[in-house]
Amino acid sequence: MTAATVAFTVGSIGFIGVGVPTLNWPVMLVFYAVRGIGYPLFAYSFLTWINYSAPLRNRGLAVGWFWFMFSLGLSVIGPFYSSVTIPVIGHIGVLWTGLAFVLVGTVVAVMLNRDQIPAHEIHDLSAGELLKAVTLLRRPRISIGLVVKTVNGLGQYGLAVFMPIYLASFGYSTTEWLRMWSAVFTVAIFANLFFGYVGDRVGWRNTIQWVGGVAYAVVLVAVYYAPEVIGHNPALMTVIICMCGVTMAGYVPLSALFPMLAPDNKGAAMSILNLGAGLSTFAAPAIAGLLFDRFGAGAVLFTYAGFYLLSAVLTPFLKTPDELAGRTRNEMSLAPEPSQPA
């Protein structure tokens, strides 16, 4: 996390201080790439830390709090703050204040937070350790989990690509769409917390399978048919599309479950989880780009829905080594680091 802050700081100084004022494209490209290293390195290192430190019985809630705060900052407070401050201090001034927020967050997370990762969970930084992120993919459960995580983000990263165009054909303006999309993430931040708690109670896999997989697929089909049925009705359409924010939160427990699939190296497992998140940002627009112009929004939404149903089918296979070894629920409850029940 400290290294991430250094990368973000160096990248920001070069990008904001040199590249943007002179509109020097090569400088902006290089330093923005350096800056971009900081974001996932910090955020997902923090998520890995939570998985090392949070008690198993409350780990779903713990990662729910992570995604609650993550979405609150990135999708709610950030855009609102920018909309208020850009007219006052300008775009470049806002970018500099963003760096200030990052530095304050680092002080809180790294220096004021006194929690220590157990010594046996710390691995030396070596080529062998780095390669474990690749070799873990040989484990079927990890590969299946990668597919499930990739499916997780299809709606989030895909709907914004084509839904404004689809809704425009029913009279929805760009402003109305932006308000709907903002509402989706406002709902999602609270749903993240709720389903983190629910996952701890009814099972992480159950929550992922039925809320994130099956329910999300149903909601995507409803999103397609809703405009045809209700026409131009922004209020009702907002309620319907906000269900995407509710059901996407069904995947929150995956961040707690995934490291348990490889308890011998949770950090490497988390890197695979992060790879799935990255693949979503590529796959979702790619599917939309291939299908929307030729076959329309229905083809895209039904394809997404099919993938979510696939993730629901795959999720029961995400069993921990303890469960595969046939340990009983009683035995797991007596173990210091038990597997999570379904």
Write down the pLDDT at residue 53: 83
Lowest mean pLDDT among 4-13, 81-90, 115-124: 115-124
Residue 125 has pLDDT above 70, yes or no: no
Contact 92, 22 (CB under 8 A): no
- Stretch 79-105: mean pLDDT, rounded? 91
Q: Please name which of 242, 123, 267, 263 lies closest in space to residue 190, comparing C-alpha atoms.
A: 242
Write down the pLDDT at residue 130: 65
Q: Compute CA distances 128 → 37, 52, 142, 313, whole Å.
A: 22, 21, 18, 33
Write down the pLDDT at residue 81: 87
Contact 258, 270 (CB under 8 A): yes
Helix %, strand %, coil % of the chain (to 5): 85, 0, 15
Q: Please name which of 182, 319, 170 lies closest in space to residue 258, comparing C-alpha atoms.
A: 319
Percent of the chain exceeding pLDDT 70 equals 90
Residue 241 has pLDDT above 90, yes or no: yes
| Residue 83 CA to its chain's centroid (Å) | 24
The Cα 155–Cα 260 span in angstroms is 26
| HEC letters along 12-31 | HHHHHHHHHHHCCHHHHHHH
Contact 188, 248 (CB under 8 A): yes
The Cα 267–Cα 137 span in angstroms is 14
Count the neighbouring beta carbons within 10 Å of the beta carbon of residue 303: 18
Write down the pLDDT at residue 119: 65
The Cα 156–Cα 102 span in angstroms is 24
- Stretch 252-263: mean pLDDT, rounded? 91
Span 9-34, pLDDT tens digits: 999 999 999 999 999 999 999 999 99
Residue 54 has pLDDT above 70, yes or no: yes
CATH number belonging to domain 136-334: 1.20.1250.20
- Stretch 182-203: mean pLDDT, rounded? 92
Domain ranges of the chain: 1-114, 136-334
Contact 141, 147 (CB under 8 A): no
Write down the pLDDT at residue 332: 43
User: Which residues, at least 6 apart from 6, have a Cβ–Cβ distance to it below 8 Å?
Assistant: 38
Q: How many CA atoms lie within 13 A of 268 on its CB side?
A: 26
Residue 200 has pLDDT above 90, yes or no: yes
